[in-house]
Every structure is written in C-alpha cells, then in structure tokens.
Amino acid sequence: MQYSPENVMPFGPIHPSLKEPEYFKLILDSGKIKEVIPRIGYVHRGIERAAQDRTWVKNIYLFERICGICSFAHSLGYTQGVEILTHFEVPRRAKYLRTIVAELERIHSHFLWLGLVGHWAGFDTLFMWVWKDREHILDLEEAITGNRIHKSYVAIGGVRKDLPDGLRETLLKELVFIEKRARYYSELVQSEETLSIRTKGVGGLTQDTARRLCPVGPLLRSTGIARDIRVEDPYAAYDELIPQVQSSTDGDIACLMTIRLNEVLDSCRVIRDAVDKLPSGPVRNPVPRVVPSGESCQHVEAPRGELFYFVRSEGKSGPARVKLRTPTLANIMTAIEMLKGRPIADVPIVLTGMDPCFGCMDRVSVVDLNKSAQWSLTGEQLRQYGIEYYRRHE
Amino acid sequence: MNLYQVVELLLFPGLTFFVWLAFIFEWLERKTAARMQGRVGPVVTGPSGIFQPVADFFKLASKEEIVPEYSDRFVLRWGPALFFAAPAIAVSFIPVIGLQSTLFDPLDLLFMVFLLSFSTLMAGMLGYASAGRFSTIGVGRLVVQYTSYEVPLLLAMIAPAVLAGSLSIEGIVAAQSGVWYIALAPIAFCVFIIATLAELEKPPFDIPSAKTEIVGGWMTEFSGNTLAYVKLTKSLSYVFLSALAVSLFLGGPQGPILFANGVAQGFMYAVYFLVKLFAVGFIIFAIRTALARVRIDQAARLFWTVLTPLTLAQLAVAIVIR
C-alpha cells in the first residue's frame, strides 16, 4: 500500500494508553484512520518452549503467569487438558469450587476492563471507582485461594484447598455489594452524557465482519452471535450451573459495556447458585506424576473469550508440546477492522473494546519459508543469529 | 511608579501572591479530585501535602532538559517566558485588596481578551516548535478548540460589560455594589465557566493534551525547566480565569461586612475575594472530575450550536436590562 511518511502516526510500542508494549502503525487520511498495521511480538517470553522443560505440576504455575488477569482460566485450561490424558475423575466439590473462582475472576476482569474504558475515555473518576470496587473481589479471591492474582488454586485432580470455614457468608454478602455496584454502573454508562457520546456507535462491528474475522468472547456476542464455551461445551460445573449467554446486536463500545456488566450480574447469580448447591466430599483426587501418552484439546471461556489449550504427552514427567491460543490473538484483526474510518480520538477506546492482553498473545515459532523447516534454537544460537542478522542488514 | 506600587505589582496582591495561589489551586484540584474518586491525593510534602505542587515544580525545573533535534531552539528557549508572561501580567488587573486594581486602563477588558488569545497562540507556537508528531496533532486540536470556544467566551465576557456600561474590570466590579451580575446574567456565567474548562484544557475539553490518545498533546516534547514553567503557567491561568469570573460575575472583592479602616478593610476585601475565588475553583474541580472527555468534533458542535446562540440571547437580555 502506498502512503507518505507524513501520514503515519505511531501508536506504541510505548504509549500511555497501552499498558503493554505493542505497535500499531496508523495511516491517516485527513485525521481519519485509513489503515492499521499491527506489529506483534514485543513481549514474547517463550513460555510454550519453557513448558517442555518443566514437570506437569510446575507448568500449572508457569501458564498462570501468561496473564495477570485471567490467570485462573489459563491454569484451568491446561489442567483440564492434562486431566483428560490421565483419565482421572475430578471430585464434584472441586468442580464447583473451580466454577466459583472462575466466575470471580470474570467479575474482576470485567470490572478492570470497565475502569480502563473510563480511563481511556478520559473519565478517570469511573476508573478509580470501579477499581476500588474490584478490590472487594480480589480480597474474596485471596480469602478463598490464598492469592489475589496468581491464585495457584487449581491442581491436577482437583483444587489445592477447600473453602475456608465461615467464608460462605462473607461471599454472599460481598456478592450483594458487587451486584449493587454493577447495576449502578450499568445505569451510569447509559445515562452519563459525555461517556455515552464517546461510546455509542463507536466500533460498529457487524455480524458479517464478525463471521469473516472470527472474534471470540464479548466482542463476538456484541454482534448478536450468542456463543459461549461455558454453555456450548460445559466444563467444571457449568453443566449444572448454566450461565445465561449475554448478547446484543449493536456491536459498539456502549453495547460491550452493557454485555460485560450483564455478565457480571449473571456471574454473581452463578456463584450464588454454586454456593447453595455446593456438594460435600473431597476436593482433590490423587493423580500419578507421569501422564500417559496422548493428545488433548481443551477450551475454556476466559473473561475475554475462548482460550484454547492443546497438550501432547509422550509418557514423560512433562509435556512434549503445549500450544495455546489466547482470545486477544483471535480478536486483534477484528479490532483493527473496527478502527478503520475512525478519528484518532477513538483509537484507545476501540482497541480497549476487545480487552487486549498483548502479553498473553505474543509467542513465536520460527519458520523459514525457504528451507521449509521449523527451527529450534538455543539461546546462544539465537543470540548469534541476531548479531549476524544485523551485521548483514547494517 | 513609586515603591509601594512596585511592591503591589510583584509581591501582594501581584505576581508572588498569585503564583502561590496557583500552587494552592493545583493542590486543591488534586485533593478534590482524589477525594471524589475515593483516593487520598498528595499527603507527603507539607501538611496534607499542600507543598506537593511546589516540590513538583522545583524537581521538574532542576531536571535535564531534552530538546528534540528538529525543534526550533529559539522559540523553545524564549517561548515559555512569553507564555508565562500572559497570565502573569493579566493578574495585575484584578482588584483584590480594594476596588482598585494594581494596573488600570479604561479598556483593560479588551487587553484581557488579547492576553487570552496570546496565551493560546504561544501554546500553539511552542507545540509546533518542538516538532513532534503528537505535538503537531495536539496543536491542530488546540486551534480547532480555540476557534470554537473563543466566540462564546468573548460574548460571555461582554454581557457584564454591557450591564455595567464599562470596559474596565474596575468599572464592572464597582457597578456590582448592589446586585452581582451572576443574578442578571446567569447563562453568561455558566458559559464562561464551560469556556474556561476549554481554555484550561480540563476534562471534558482536555482534547489538545489528551494523554491516552496523543501522549501529552502539544506538551509532549517538553521536559525539565520548560515543562515546569508551562505547567505553572497553566495553573496560573487557572487562577486568573477564576479571578476574572469572580470580578465579572461575583462582585469581585466586595462583601457584606467591611471596616472603614484602611488595613482591616483591605484584609476583608482579600478574604471575600479568596472565598469567591475558591468557590469558582471548586465548581471547575467538580466538573472536571465528574465528566469524560469528548471528541474534538463533539466539542466544536457543542460550542457553536448550543453555547454561542445561548450567549447571544443572554447578550440581548443584558442590553434590554441595561
């Protein structure tokens, strides 16, 4: 594509509105965005490769660290994949507890996102309020699992610990508070004039575009395609505690806010259901350290959308290969499509519409098209390759 | 000009007084916003962190200044001084400790209008001179915003002038000894406050320096001393515009109880002035905390299609009253 350098505005890799480094080359035409060229890979950490050197159990904590927000969804996706290979049944109580923590994580992720929308729309008060309320959920998570963010709660064959005594009442009390706040925010985002003129009609994703570009999660549901992994392919205790799929047809940021706040309300209901029906029994079954050979695919509905895990075992103490796909990678092309034709002022708010998590997304596999062979490089080889590459391209 | 006038001009109620007010305004703004958002705001430097803006200023001023390679060094070197000069001169025309201001001219309201435009012009020049990509976009937004809010701002300033039959701030203040003009021209006061938000680049009109969109807007490339003075100038403009609102609409330093004696009378005038000043300041703090940023086209539409006709109507009412 032809464009003059004057029309290019860099957005990132370091930019105040991006909390993680990612580069978007915005090509402008009289103040409007004509084309967006994303450049991903700034926070590649080699996690998939690192997983091959670790044991099955250690990998739970490694995958948790892919994302600081939906850490539980990552560990759950991986663990479920391993559990399928071991053919061991997870106790029902553990399934319920997993559901409770997964839903708490969804609430805190959605609140975090709403705060960021406020921040990116220049509405810092909303940001501060929502994040203050989010602390309640983090405290709950800490009380249940022992940690606020990287919960390390799930274990192969169950969960690491039972619900502490007396927490049930606190949990139910806090849920009432969270529901109250979520209702208040859904009223606020619709009635607050300056916020609604910034979000109504911005984005405008259509169903056809969505079908073509395959976004996942709330972004997909905002176009009226009501799909949710929790309902379509139930895992944990979702076959007994059926969540309601929230969808709308507007496809704009205002509609994404409503969908996410409705999901928060529905999550509160699911948690309450789970606490009421919580079965008794053990929370963890013993499993062997070596997992039999085989392959498994698992997907879970992370707060941002479908999170996909592929696990292959060769009967050793660690996985032979783990491949994962995070929701952000599925959504990024859609977000770019939504940006086209919008003024620069809308860039942060549209990009945030998909709830980006670039740290989760960036991973690399080196493929040389000429040799049509996949490389596997040691750190030293990679260093040498880098030096030679820049010597050649000086 | 005698020694007394020089002291008035430079110390009290002139530049030093207003610069300290600017620091206190910045502190109050941060503190109010923090309390409204459920935070505590600055607490470390001084009681309740009141000296935090002062500390910030000196820290910033002592830092290394990075000048971009392609920038216009001459403008970047001397521009901030001129930028600072505009509100620094303007505050001398505000009556504080009496009905007389330090500097006076029968047409000084027009001079205020010039200084407001000059301030924006200097901001634009500084932004262009620093030659950054984000600065250029910021200046573009600044100019669009300026062209939209200037007309309502001027019309709102003319309404009290029409009511008082005078184009000097002193004259307008003196004419409000009975009724304050906020009672006769409430719409003009509201429009003045809204246009003030736009002039000061506060939410919902912080479009030219929207940090989540264009980093720092026209201030992106500034650092060290330049940035310290640009920020101080913005705080000083904040105080100046609030003081102008007090003088034009709230009767300036006049209040119910006054002493006949010189010093005590001057003290009471200053107290009334400060009370009104902080009241106007709080209105602005509250609005800026409670709203989200609008887009530049939405701001322009608001100013041209809503506020300009409203102020014109207000002006017609003022002429009829007069």
Q: Is the pLDDT of residue A117 over 80?
A: yes
Do A228 and A373 reside in the same domain of the chain? no
The mean pLDDT value of chain A amounts to 83
Do A377 and A331 reside in the same domain of the chain? no
B69: DSSP letter: T
**Residue A1 distance to chain B (closest CA, Å):** 22
For the stretch A339-348, pLDDT in tens is: 888 887 788 7
The mean pLDDT value of chain B amounts to 86
Do A288 and A387 reside in the same domain of the chain? no
CB contact under 8 A, B37 and A344: no
Do A147 and A282 reside in the same domain of the chain? yes
Do A349 and A390 reside in the same domain of the chain? no
Q: Which CATH number fits the domain that encloses residue A244?
A: 1.10.645.10
Best probe of the A interface among B134, B206, B213, B291, by most A CBs < 10 A, is B213
Q: Is residue A383 part of a domain?
A: yes
Q: Is residue A255 part of a domain?
A: yes
Q: What share of chain B is helix, strand, coil (3-state, %, to 5)?
A: 75, 0, 25
Q: Which has more confidence, A249 or A354? A: A249
Look at the alpha carbons of A363, A368, A372, A374 in this order and tell me if their dihedral is positive or negative: negative
Residues of A in contact with B293 (CB under 8 A): 121-123, 194, 198
pLDDT for A348 equals 79
Do A337 and A379 reside in the same domain of the chain? no
Q: Which of A44, A76, A43 is nearest to A59 (CA)?
A: A76
CB contact under 8 A, A16 and B211: yes
Please indicate if any CB of chain B lies within 8 Å of the CB of A366: no
Select the highest-mean-pLDDT range: A189-198, A322-331, B80-89: B80-89
**Residue B288 distance to chain A (closest CA, Å):** 9
Q: Which of B41, B11, B13, B12 is nearest to B289 (CA)?
A: B41
CB contact under 8 A, A124 and B38: no
Q: What are phi and psi of A322, to 5 degrees?
A: -130, 130
Q: Is the pLDDT of residue A366 over 60?
A: no
Residues of A in contact with B291 (CB under 8 A): 123, 194
pLDDT band at A361 (very low <50, low <70, confident <90, very high): low
pLDDT for B23 equals 92
Do A377 and A337 reside in the same domain of the chain? no
Q: Is residue A5 part of a domain?
A: no
Per mean pLDDT, which range of A16-20, B82-86, B318-322 is the poorest? A16-20
Do A218 and A263 reside in the same domain of the chain? yes
Select the highest-mean-pLDDT range: A287-291, A355-359, B308-312: B308-312
- For chain B, positions 274-313, list CB contacts with chain A under 8 A: 289-298
- For chain A, positions 288-347, list CB contacts with chain B under 8 A: 343-347
Do A172 and A215 reside in the same domain of the chain? yes
Q: What are phi and psi of B66, to 5 degrees?
A: -105, 120
Euclidean distance between the first and the last CA atom of chain A, given in angstroms as a whole number? 25
pLDDT for A380 equals 65
Do A293 and A247 reside in the same domain of the chain? yes
For the stretch A166-177, pLDDT in tens is: 888 888 899 999
CA distance B300 to A260: 32
Amino acid at site A186: S
**Residue B117 distance to chain A (closest CA, Å):** 25
Q: Is residue A27 part of a domain?
A: no
pLDDT band at A374 (very low <50, low <70, confident <90, very high): very low
**Residue B178 distance to chain A (closest CA, Å):** 38
* E runs forming strands in B177-300: none
Q: Is the pLDDT of residue A199 over 60?
A: yes
Do A112 and A233 reside in the same domain of the chain? yes
Two tokens, residue B75: 């403008």
Bridge partners, residue A323, by sequence: A310
Domain that holds residue A392: 367-394
3-state SS, one letter per residue, for chain A: CCCCHHHEEEECCCCCCCCCCCEEEEEEECCEEEEEEEECCCCCCCHHHHHCCCCHHHHHHHHHCCCCCCHHHHHHHHHHHHHHHHCCCCCHHHHHHHHHHHHHHHHHHHHHHHHHHHHHCCCHHHHHHHHHHHHHHHHHHHHHHCCCCCCCCEECCEECCCCCCCHHHHHHHHHHHHHHHHHHHHHHHHHCHHHHHHHCCCCCCCHHHHHHHCCCCHHHHCCCCCCCHHHHCCCCCCCCCCCCCCCCCCCCHHHHHHHHHHHHHHHHHHHHHHHHHCCCCCCECCCCCCCCCEEEEEEEEECCEEEEEEEEECCCCCCCEEEEECHHHHHHHHHHHHHCCCEHHHHHHHHHHCCCCHHHHCCCCCEECCCCEECCCCHHHHHHHHHHHHHHCC
**Hunting for tokens 């002139």 — which residue is that?**
B14
For the stretch A69-93, pLDDT in tens is: 888 888 999 999 888 888 888 888 9
CB contact under 8 A, B37 and A347: no
Q: Which of B138, B294, B51, B100 is nearest to A197 (CA)?
A: B294
CA distance A219 to A211: 12
pLDDT for A369 equals 41
Please indicate if any CB of chain B lies within 8 Å of the CB of A37: no
Two tokens, residue B19: 């610069």
Best probe of the B interface among A25, A30, A185, A197, by most B CBs < 10 A, is A197
pLDDT band at A367 (very low <50, low <70, confident <90, very high): very low
CA distance A37 to B299: 29
Q: Order of strands, edge to edge, in the sheet holding A294-302?
A: A294-302, A305-313, A321-325
Total tally of structural domains belonging to chain A:
2
Bridge partners, residue A32, by sequence: A29, A343
Do A167 and A307 reside in the same domain of the chain? yes
Q: Is residue A170 part of a domain?
A: yes
Q: Which of B125, B133, B137 is nearest to B74 (CA)?
A: B125
Output the DSSP codes for B168-209.
Answer: SHHHHHHHTSSS-HHHH-HHHHHHHHHHHHHHTT-TTS-GGG
SS3 B41: coil
